Structure 1
Amino acid sequence: MLIGMPQSGDPSAAADDPVGSIEATEPTTARDAPRGSLWRDRNFITMWSGQALAQVGSQVTELAIPVLAVLLLHATEFEVGLLNAAAVAAFLVVGLPAGAWIDRMRKRRVMIWADAVRATALLTLPLLWWADLLEMWHLYAVALVVGIATVFFDVSYQSIIPSLVRENQIAEANGKLEATRELANISGPALGGWLIGLITAPFAILATVGTYITSLIALLLTRDHEQSRAPEDRAPILQEIGEGLRWVFGNELLRRIVGTTGISNFFNTMSFTLLPIFLLRELGLTPAAMGLIFSLGSIGGLAGAVATPHIVRWIGEARAIPVSAVAFSTVACLLPLAATFPAVAFPLLVVQGFIGSFTVLLYNITQVTFRQRITPPRLLGRMNASVRFCVWGVMPIAALLAGALGTWVGVVATMWIGAAGQLLSALCVVIGPFWTMRQLPDAQH
């Protein structure tokens, strides 16, 4: 499971927004948000409901596209690596400028356009399959387009929460959104496996198209309080990118979090890239069994989202970060171990997924809430984009390396390399000031 969740900044004037003509409601302020539980906040629930369905849909496609490549198009190890690299290449190529651009735009409207692009691109795959024209290069192209749209969506998604809820509700909002994401991780793969068996992988992707359209509609009905950023407050794009990077790397705690997240994601991507081949070819599992493993393992993520507030109160916010990092980096070794004990591979993979998801959610909710809390609103988009560039920008490189290593030394050996690398990732937060603190610092007003 990748860490550094989506999977914040200042907007531009509404007049600069190309979808301003279809704005459904006037913006409010976060101060107008209802007090108490966010389940009583109709505006938050509107956004949440669309995201809940979109998360389920994205899980269906995350299963359907690898199955389509491996079983229907008979992709090689290197082709699977290239496909995964295409899906995440955008974080390396446009991740940094995206943050600066997003800080000049309304986050919610960026998300609307991103949903429209993702739905349109994915729609081409079942159409090409139906016409008997689908080839691997089509998958690469669609993965690249969807990846670019996802960069803009995810940076905006992480940046929009402070403009929807009160400051003291940010942690609750992140917890609810991540709990929903994990519910989607539970139901989505199982639903995807069932749909693939029923209507084949290409047409299962249509379910994702429908959920992205639903998300788009929900976002149109959501209100936010983002204010226009004064033109004189804008600097040249490279200067603004540099400001975001300096903010992230000038803070020791953020710098260490980025180190652990980036190293873990690099080596986890090596394992994840070859996971479809590992499960479907090496272990001989069916797509339905593969989806069931993902679903059962993701129950741990839901439990982690629910348990995070209690664990943070018990051991402290700061200490929760190294504790969770040690746990998810250690349990990664169970993944390649399943090849050594094929008779118990299924339960072993479920246990690995459960513990990994639980601890990654504890880590993500804690560190993302900290990032959102200490970062000035005008820098939120660039902060999140800078972090994403560092922790997700390594993924296309890791995916290509996984494809090459899988061809050279084999799938299982490559996954052991990935597991060993993840063990090293925790050192950045284990060796540092987190153990001597209980609470992470607040913003300096």
Structure 2
Amino acid sequence: MEMEPRAELWRRPDFRHLIAALGISHLGAKIAREALPLTAVLALGAGPLAMSSITIANTLPTILLALHAGALLDRIRRRPMMIWSDLLRCLVLLSVPMAALLDLLSITQLCLVAFLVSAATLAFDIADQAYLPGLVGRGHILKANAAKEATDASTEIVGPPLGGLLVQVIGAPLTILVNALSYLLSAVFLLRIGVRETAPAIATRPDFRREIGDGLRVMWRDSVLRPLLYARFIRTFFGAMLAPFYVLYLVRDLGVSPLVLGVIVATGGAASLIGAAAVPRLATRLPVGPGLILAFAAKTMGLACVPLAGVMLGVSPLLVVPLLILQQCLADGSTGYFAVLERTLRQQRVAPELLGRAGATTRLVNDAPVPFAALLAGVVAERYGIDPVLWIAIAGYALAPVVAFFSAVRRLRSI
């Protein structure tokens, strides 16, 4: 694959505008990530049922709309959809501080906001992944994806602490206003991209059933993308069994203070940034397939450090925090690495006219198992405690590198 010097890619104004748009919107989303649930809790006194309703509303768009969104986005220009998605997210989020100011805020409105923002984000993300190859050229996708992932990791380091400060100073509803404005700025930068996107040459009437089938088949028939999709499902399902208990386990069971928890999470953001930034260099030195398998295994080992810290609590308490930092470094650093490679492989191996549907299929596999896995984990934890759930999740997660190893991924040498 022809590799362009990274500096040359950054000299392209259109690429800088895209990265600026993504960076600003990601930062706004990270700042306000907890603001919507905190608005429900602090402003409306929401209970468990109401909080569950918001979570379900946030998950439903992927389950209901992802495949149809992918088929639609392969019929239209992607950048206008990204702009409209940003503007919709801005307007919908603006309704929260306005309703709070007028004392009209309700759980029903927050559920509707969560659903609409999630649906617009789904459309934006699918369109973005399909749009990138045409903007930078297929020979430069790897470095472009690495830049995007590094930008996202940077916002993970800065956003949550800033968001926590803003919630304390100005309140959760006004923190959501910051997120709304970030989407407006993102739309402005996307509008500044000068390269005119060519409309897909599709003369037939829409047949969503056939077109969705085409997107599923292109992933299923590819000897590399198919096992990677299996591995993604495994990672998503078993990762979703562990995720709901992470903060609870660290704070309640391991006695980690909120300040130390913030430091631990920040190390993960830094590790993700390093992992993403290292991809272009490592991809020329380490075979891509074995690199992916090693990254999946590294994340599994990282996740195992969480219950292992619980074991060490009664043996050597001084090792608890170092193990948790190691967990963040291994898990998030490997994620930054394999996320870039997986996305690049899909964008390189799938025809441009199918990229929307391929991205939608991946998004569905990535998000749909989450509520079911979290529900199963909750039931098991209620009966047997959190520790068994964590070990079950890690044992299941360990199947991801195994599936990739016994497939064509093992023999993949380059993108």
Task: Give 1:10's aligned residue.
Answer: none
Shift of 1:43: 1.0
Deviation at 1:409, TM superposition (A): 4.6
Query: Can you list the C-alpha shifts for 1:261-306, whole angstroms capped at 9, x where unaligned?
Result: 1111122123223445445665666766554433221100110012
How far residue 63 of structure 1 moved from its aligned partner, in angstroms, is: 3.3
Query: 1:252 and 1:231, CA in 2 relative to 1: closer, same or farther beyond 3 A?
Result: closer
Matches of 1:253 and 1:408, distance apart in 2: 39
Equivalent-residue separation in structure 1 for 2:326 and 2:278 (angstroms): 18
Identity of aligned residues (%): 31
State the 1:232 CA deviation: 2.1
The equivalent residue for 1:246 is 217
Aligned to 2:358: 383
Shift of 1:423: 2.1
How far, CA to CA, are the matches of 1:185 and 1:52 in structure 2? 10
Alpha-carbon deviation of 1:69? 5.3
What letter is aligned with 2:126? V
Equivalent pair of 2:236/2:370 in contact (CA under 8 Å)? yes
Asked whether the equivalents of residues 189 and 295 of structure 1 are also in contact (C-alpha less than 8 Å), the reply is no
* Residue 308 (structure 1) aligned to one of 279, 285, 307: 279
Q: 2:271 matched to 1:296? A: no
Specify which of 112, 116, 123 is matched with residue 152 of structure 1: 123
* Residues 82 and 290 of structure 1, relative CA distance in 2, 3 Å threshold: farther
Answer whether contact 1:325 1:426 (CA < 8 A) is retained. Answer: yes
Moved more, 49-58 or 191-200: 191-200
1:200 maps to which residue? Answer: 171
Tell me the residue number matched to 1:37. 8
**1:375-415 deviation digits (Å, cap 9, x = unpaired):** 11111111111121222222233344445445555555544
Q: Please, what is the CA RMSD of the aligned residues?
A: 2.9
Q: Structure 1 residue 340: deviation in Å?
A: 4.9
| Alpha-carbon distance, 1:121 to partner | 2.4
Contact 1:110-1:153 within 8 A present in 2 as well: yes
Higher mean alpha-carbon deviation, 121-130 vs 74-83, is at: 74-83
Determine the structure 1 residue equivalent to 2:19: 48
Q: Does 1:361 align with 2:336?
A: yes
Q: Which residue of 1 aligns with 2:160?
A: 189
User: Which deviates more, 62-71 or 257-266?
Assistant: 62-71
Paired residues of 1:270 and 1:415 also in contact (CA < 8 A): yes
Extract unaligned runs of 5+ from structure 2. Answer: none
1:438 is paired with a residue whose SS is: coil
Task: Give yes or no for contact 1:319–1:434 (8 Å, CA) kept in 2.
Answer: yes
Question: What residue is the counterpart of 1:435 in the other structure?
Answer: 410
Tell me how far apart the structure 2 counterparts of residues 294 and 72 of structure 1 sit (CA, whole Å).
27
Deviation at 1:122, TM superposition (A): 2.4
Closer, same or farther: CA 357–109 of 1 in aligned 2, 3 Å:
same
Cα gap change, 1:288/1:153 in structure 2, threshold over 3 Å: closer, same or farther? farther
Q: Which residue of 1 aligns with 2:229?
A: 258
Q: Does 1:209 align with 2:180?
A: yes
Consecutive unaligned residues of structure 1, counting only runs of 5 or more, are 1-32, 441-445
Contact 1:118/1:146 (<8 A) preserved: yes
- AA partner of residue 325 (structure 2): V
Matching of residues 317-336 of structure 1 within 5 Å: 317-336=288-307
Q: What is the TM-score with the length of structure 1 in the denominator?
A: 0.82
1:62 aligns to what SS in structure 2? coil
Distance 2:272 2:377 in 1: 26
Which residue is equivalent to 1:17? none
Would you say the 8 A contact 1:50–1:219 is kept in 2?
yes
Q: Which residue of 1 aligns with 2:60?
A: 89
- The DSSP-based 3-state class of the residue aligned with 2:34 is helix
Q: Does the 8 Å contact 1:256/1:428 carry over to 2?
A: yes
Q: Distance in 1 between matches of 2:305 and 2:235?
A: 15
Letter in structure 2 aligned against 1:147: S
Q: Partners in 2 of 1:337 and 1:131 — Cα distance?
A: 49
**1:46-195 correspondence runs (5 A):** 46-68=17-39, 80=51, 82-131=53-102, 134=105, 136-195=107-166
1:212 Cα shift?
Answer: 1.0
Q: Residues 127 and 294 (structure 1 numbering): CA distance in 2 closer, same or farther, change over 3 Å?
A: farther
Contact 1:92 1:394 in 2 (8 A): no
CA distance 1:138–1:350, shift in 2 (3 Å): farther
Which structure shows the bigger proportion of residues in helix conformation?
2
How many residues matched?
408
TM-score (norm 2): 0.88
Select which of 373, 389, 392 maps to 2:348.
Answer: 373
CA distance in 2, matches of 1:357, 1:245: 29
Distance 2:47 2:311 in 1: 23
Contact 1:90 1:151 in 2 (8 A): yes
Secondary structure at 1:314's aligned position in 2? coil
